[in-house]
Structure 1
Amino acid sequence: MDADSRVARWEARAEIPLFIAALLYLGSYAVRVLDRGLPPAWIDLCLAVTCATWASFAVDYAVRWRLGGPRRFLVYLRRHPLDTVVLVLPLLRPLRIIHLYDAVQRRRDEPRLSLYGRVIAYAGTTAVLLGFAGALAVFQAERDAPGATIRTFGDAVWWTASTLTTVGYGDITPVTPLGRTIATGLMICGVALLGAVTGAFSSWLIQTFTRDDERPPAG
């Protein structure tokens, strides 16, 4: 069995457990951010869940590196920059939609609505999870800053929605360096998600209509 097959089998087995781990990571982080009155024991529990789930991401990263064949770690870093970014910043894990989009592109000679539909559905789920994570992060960074306009989690959700959709009303803006860094990342992610959805749907439509035109006339 070649390296690509081993990696594919591992990813298929680990996809659901890692998705659950990502939800646990996000949930434990959300509790720590949104509830400032947590007892110390609950804070410690949330921190333990956060660390344990991050460790599962690190194990997945290491396994895929080893299954990928004998290559230097720095080479793997250069070839898989997205995986490395997601490992360092687990809140960005929804960005792994790009892998699914790549799978669609590799199979563009076989337009299947189910596969393209999965891309669109996954993009929607990714936008929700990424938006929630971004709202949490910017709320934590901005809520106590002097002159901040993001004072409540509702403000953070509204700002995140307008940023991810690239609307940007400008009524609420981050004022801290960390908040503006998060804003930049969300803008890039919003453009990428929109491009993935429109690209997949347009590609499917073009290929479907092309094949219909190539069919011989009836009779």
Structure 2
Amino acid sequence: MNARAEAAAPRRKHWEDLTTVPLAILGVAFIGAYGVWVLRPEDPAPVHVVIAVILVVVWLVFLVDVVVRIALTPKGHRWAWVRHHPIDFMSAVLPVFRALRVVGLVVEVPYFRRRSGNAVRARFLVLAVLYALVFVVFIALATLSVERDAPGATIVTFGDAMWWAIVTLATVGYGDTYPVTTPGRWYAVFLMAGGIAILGVASATVISVLNERLAEIERGRHEARAGRPSDADGDGDGDSDVDTAADGLDDEGEPIGFQAREGLVPEAPDGASD
């Protein structure tokens, strides 16, 4: 959303400021509860009842949060808000996406708020890594929950699920483990789409770094040709000995002979001959 649309919803912004940290804590609680629900099916029934209550309550809180944020957005900008906050909106439908809300707190670190190129790239890289980690773990848990009791299942342990999720995210796909149920295959679709997005962000970051380094090298060469080279040799003359020699000048800026430039013999003084 643009700055004008954001400014038009001060009440929503106030609501988000108040609820970001509590919702992030609930997101962590949701991750923990869901992990226990999937990984410890042998726990007593009362434990599963408590976990189920936690999951339902958190889901309802997430749903209320999304409804309130949409309601506090001016009518002309509500669909724009939904388009620009897909994870928040999907959390009202599939609560597993709400776990990704926790990653948003990384943006609040002061360094990542800076506008420099390094800070922006670092922000993208850290967010990509954290999103990938949370995404893989949650998809692995969800897939394990629907696969392990299915006939002919190859994903029957959390280790199997993590292995399958990682090789799928990396677009390798060995084929030794794979989902056999319809829900499991839908989770695989989400995972493959996420893998393409994460690899795309990583590739774009690498290309950005290379382009910036090449631009710095080209800028240095242009400054050297324009007579403003850097003092690489540290002698305070504003130039490096190597660059000066390459330009055909001595340390005083005077032309030097071919042999002297090539480092063969010193140039003879004026008026001297063999």
Q: Is TM (by shorter chain) over 0.5?
A: yes
- Letter of the aligned partner of 1:91 in structure 2? V
Give distance in 2, aligned partners of 1:181 and 1:43: 26
Give 1:210 deviation, angstroms: 2.9
Aligned counterpart for 1:50 among listed residues 38, 52, 55: 55
| Number of positions where the alignment pairs a residue of Structure 1 with one of Structure 2 | 210
Give a deviation string over 1:20-39, Cα, whole Å, max 9, x none.
22221111111111111222
Q: Which moved more, 1:58-67 or 1:157-166?
A: 58-67
Give distance in 1, aligned partners of 2:85 and 2:38: 31
Give 1:14 deviation, angstroms: 3.9
Structure 2 match to 1:206: 211
Alignment of 1:42-191 (within 5 A): 42-71=47-76, 77=82, 80-93=85-98, 111-191=116-196
Is the Cα contact below 8 Å between 2:28 and 2:99 reproduced in 1?
A: no
Q: Which moved more, 1:90-99 or 1:40-49?
A: 90-99
TM-score normalized with structure 2 length: 0.65
Give 1:115 deviation, angstroms: 2.6
Structure 2: give runs of 5+ residues left out of the alignment.
106-114, 230-237, 239-274
Give distance in 2, aligned partners of 1:194 and 1:96: 20
Give 1:140 deviation, angstroms: 0.9
Structure 1 match to 2:265: none
Name the CA shift for 1:116/1:17 in 2 (closer, same or farther; >3 Å): farther
Q: Which moved more, 1:164-173 or 1:196-205?
A: 196-205
Q: Which moved more, 1:24-33 or 1:38-47?
A: 38-47
Structure 2 match to 1:4: 6
Q: Which moved more, 1:51-60 or 1:30-39?
A: 51-60
- Letter of the aligned partner of 1:141 in structure 2? V
Give 1:54 deviation, angstroms: 1.8
- Letter of the aligned partner of 1:4 in structure 2? E
- Letter of the aligned partner of 2:6 in structure 1? D
Give distance in 2, aligned partners of 1:12 and 1:200: 30
- Letter of the aligned partner of 1:165 in structure 2? A
Name the CA shift for 1:84/1:40 in 2 (closer, same or farther; >3 Å): same
Is the Cα contact below 8 Å between 2:63 and 2:91 reproduced in 1?
A: no
What root-mean-square deviation, in Å, do the aligned CA atoms of Structure 1 and Structure 2 show? 3.1
Give a deviation string over 1:195-219, Cα, whole Å, max 9, x none.
1222234234424643664464434
Q: Which moved more, 1:1-10 or 1:31-40?
A: 1-10
Name the CA shift for 1:113/1:73 in 2 (closer, same or farther; >3 Å): closer
Is the Cα contact below 8 Å between 2:140 and 2:158 reproduced in 1?
A: yes
Give distance in 2, aligned partners of 1:12 and 1:211: 40
Give 1:15 deviation, angstroms: 3.6
Structure 1: give runs of 5+ residues left out of the alignment.
101-109
Is the Cα contact below 8 Å between 1:111 and 1:208 reproduced in 2?
A: no
- Letter of the aligned partner of 1:176 in structure 2? T
Give distance in 2, aligned partners of 1:197 and 1:93: 23
